[in-house]
């Protein structure tokens, strides 16, 4: 571990020297690339410098204990030594976590797709509730929500909704939301007070840039048709809705929320690109099956990851055995404790 840390310190220094040269300083793109690389390892370098300083202080305290005969001075040296030993253990753990390879997708924006599963109208209503909860959570982090496509039920729910979340390190915090979310509650239409169980599926896809994924236009079948859905002057009057089929994979994306065919096509392409990118990543993950098994589950819609039990005011995440008895606040967007716990569990498992 020390050899790896020393090489990172050396790399940090080399980047500083490069950024100080006229050649790099005069080229904004190259300078930005080096600045990003330096920033990515900056925290590791700072933590290692603190760790090395504590090592030196510990050596000094131990040297003092060998030579010092004064009882009070020895007591102070013993206290300092104990504190430094604890600090070094904590520092080593922090450095080990920092050396875990970062997911290159963590800094990206993400596309979230929520679909109603079993439960009919009640599942569709929970799609709307979960979308609202994620939107509230996004607000707390100054993230922006952009609805890409939706299919309303007419009673306030959605059969499905796709939206993009734009902000800092979005995918790194949202990626563990993928899977099946089960809800247990008394539906508004239930006259006898019986608890119903329904489910929705969530897919979380890192946004893929065009440079990352080149799609051959000959592989696409693009159809336009008239929008359908509740209300709106443009509904059923213009061919603004777009359906894109990726012929090699059979993936189909539809968008009809915008009045403009051009905008719907652009949004459909964004979703298609994200789905294809995620598919490629899943194939790579399956090749690294051992590494995949060590991580907290994410992304697989067939995996039941969480239960929202409204009568008991309880949220349970089945992957890490976490239960919170404050479901009402979670549904108002307070996901921080759940997501932080999932990130910590994933780091620990990979460590």
* Number of domains the chain contains: 2
Same domain, 171 and 244: yes
Same domain, 38 and 136: no
103: in domain = no
So what's the pLDDT on residue 202? 94
Secondary structure (3-state) at 27: coil
Q: Which of 18-22, 217-221, 279-283, 288-292 has the lowest mean pLDDT?
A: 288-292
Report the percentage of the chain scoring pLDDT > 70. Answer: 90
So what's the pLDDT on residue 302? 64
Boundary-marking domain end, from 77, 98, 119: 98
The mean pLDDT value for 27-54 works out to 91
Same domain, 114 and 75: no
Same domain, 60 and 116: no
Q: In this structure, what DSSP letter does residue 216 have? A: -
172: in domain = yes
Structural domain of residue 86, as residue ranges?
Answer: 2-98
Q: How far apart are CA 276 and CA 274, in angstroms?
A: 6
Same domain, 114 and 86: no
Conformation bin of residue 231: beta by default, left when phi > 0, alpha when psi is -120 to 50: left
Same domain, 89 and 28: yes
Cβ atoms within 10 A of the Cβ of 74, count?
Answer: 13
Phi, psi of 137 (to 5 degrees): -60, -40
Distances in Å between the Cα of 161 and the Cα atoms of 66, 128, 203 are: 69, 8, 11
User: Any idea how long the chain is?
Assistant: 351
Closest residue by Cα to residue 156 from 139, 136, 132: 132
So what's the pLDDT on residue 234? 44
> Tokens representing 17?
């020297």
Angle of helix 2-19 relative to helix 28-67, nearest 10 degrees, comes to: 140
* 266: CATH: 3.30.70.1660
Same domain, 88 and 117: no
Same domain, 90 and 124: no
Same domain, 91 and 140: no
105: in domain = no
224 by Cβ neighbours in 10 Å (0-12 / 13-18 / 19+) ranks as middle
Same domain, 41 and 123: no
pLDDT digits (tens, 9 = 90+) for 73-115: 888 889 999 999 999 999 998 898 888 877 888 888 999 999 9
Report the percentage of the chain scoring pLDDT > 90. Answer: 49
């Amino acid at each position: 571990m020390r050899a790896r840390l020393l090489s990172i310190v050396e790399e940090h220094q080399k980047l500083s020297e490069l950024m100080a040269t006229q050649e790099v300083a005069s080229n904004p793109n190259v300078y930005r690339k080096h600045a990003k690389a330096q920033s990515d390892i900056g925290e590791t370098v700072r933590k290692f410098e603190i760790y090395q300083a504590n090592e030196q202080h510990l050596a000094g305290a131990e040297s003092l204990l060998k030579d010092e005969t004064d009882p009070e001075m020895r007591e102070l040296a013993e206290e300092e030594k104990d504190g430094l030993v604890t600090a070094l253990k904590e520092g080593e753990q922090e450095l080990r976590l920092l050396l875990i390879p970062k997911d290159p997708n963590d800094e990206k924006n993400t596309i979230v797709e929520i679909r109603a599963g079993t439960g009919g109208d009640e599942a569709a209503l929970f799609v709307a509730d979960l979308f609202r909860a994620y939107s509230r959570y996004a607000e707390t982090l100054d993230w922006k929500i952009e609805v890409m496509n939706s299919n309303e039920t007419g009673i306030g729910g959605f059969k499905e909704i796709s939206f993009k979340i734009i902000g800092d390190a979005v995918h790194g915090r949202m990626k563990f939301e993928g899977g099946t979310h089960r809800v247990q509650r008394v539906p508004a239409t239930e006259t006898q007070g019986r608890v119903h169980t329904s489910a929705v599926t969530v897919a979380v896809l890192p946004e893929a840039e065009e440079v990352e994924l080149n799609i051959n236009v000959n592989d696409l079948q693009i159809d336009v048709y008239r929008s359908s859905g509740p209300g709106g002057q443009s509904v059923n009057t213009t061919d603004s809705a777009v359906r894109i089929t990726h012929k090699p994979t059979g993936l189909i994306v539809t968008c009809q929320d915008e009045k403009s065919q051009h905008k719907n096509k652009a949004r459909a392409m964004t979703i298609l690109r994200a789905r294809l990118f995620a598919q490629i990543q899943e194939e790579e993950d399956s090749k690294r099956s051992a590494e995949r098994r060590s991580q907290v589950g994410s992304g697989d819609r067939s995996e039941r990851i969480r239960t929202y039990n409204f009568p008991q005011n309880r949220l349970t995440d089945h992957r890490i055995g976490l239960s919170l008895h404050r479901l009402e606040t979670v549904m108002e967007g307070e996901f921080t404790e759940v997501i932080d716990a999932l990130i910590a569990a994933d780091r620990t498992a990979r460590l």
